[in-house]
Amino acid sequence: MPFPAIPLTLPELRERVRRLEGGDRRLRGALPFDVGEIDRRLPGGGLALGSLHEVAGGGNGAVDGAAAALFAAGVAARTKGPVLWCVVRQDLFAPALQQAGLLPGRVIFVEAGDERELLGSFEDCLRHGGLGAVVAEVAKLSMTASRRLQLAAEGSGTMALALRRWRRQTEAADFGQPTAAVTRWRVSVMPSAPLPVPGVGRSRWLLELIRCRAGECADFEVEACDDQGRIALAAPLADRSAPADLARHRAAG
């Protein structure tokens, strides 16, 4: 006589789903941003190593696209080992990567002839192992291709960063399609913080976590990567807290 099935508790269900999704990523570790508000949103307290992550600009313009590239460079800069950057177009400005903490001596550029060749190079580089991260500038990313990249990243433990770049509007719509990426980020440029003297302040971004496997979506106002590849939550504007302070002062009076 078969025994009746015992209902699983919520933690047991989560554990079973985690195993089906590819094993315990905590064993491979995670790369924290060292920003508590962001790391708390990510399972494992950071970006999972040995996994695929997607990054794109918030708009179709070059400015947001450059911000997305700098965000990816900052993440790659904080990994250990060489970084491979796969491109189709020869328009990457290497000195900007250095400003985001990714030094020229760590980067190996791989130039592909077309998008199909680029995806093949992306996967081969991930399977090689011994790398800190592999970044690839891709326009389209199908579920099949992303699964292959995710499996390659899991096998080697190398972080995979798919930097989504488009030549035309129709390609931009592809970013909304499902992929096997563990996280998906969108970066948009915001006005920089005002300085006490005339000049240009540190760049600010609207950083949107629009997909996170086993996590929740969120958005953050952050200061752009420094020369160590680190971001920071944007400091509140000087006049934001004034009304609250004034109200407390009046209440105390």
The CATH number that applies at residue 83 is 3.40.50.300
Query: What percent of the chain stands above pLDDT 70?
Result: 78
Whole-prediction pTM? 0.81
Separation CA 189–CA 125 (nearest Å): 31
Q: Which residues of 7-23 are buried (b: 16+ CB within 10 A; e: fewer)?
A: eeeeeeeeeeebeeebe
**Which range of residues forms the domain containing residue 131?**
25-191+202-252
What per-residue confidence (pLDDT) applies to 248?
41
Any domain includes 15: no
CB atoms within 10 A of CB 91: 9
Minimum mean pLDDT among 78-92, 98-112, 187-201: which range? 187-201
For the ranges 69-83, 94-108, 191-205, which has the lowest average pLDDT?
Answer: 191-205
Using the predicted structure, report yes or no on whether residue 246 has a pLDDT greater than 70. no
Domain tally for the chain? 1
**CB hemisphere CA count around 5 (13 angstroms):** 3
Residue 145 lies in a domain: yes
Mean pLDDT taken over the chain:
84
pLDDT in tens, 82-99: 999 999 988 888 899 999
Inside any domain, residue 10:
no
- Tell me whether residue 6 is in a domain: no
Residue 1 domain-assigned (yes or no): no
Hey, what amino acid is at 47? Answer: L
Q: Is residue 12 part of a domain?
A: no
Kindly state whether residue 3 falls inside one of the protein's structural domains. no
- Residues 6 or more apart from 113 whose CB is under 8 A from it? 88
Whether 62 is in a domain gets the answer yes
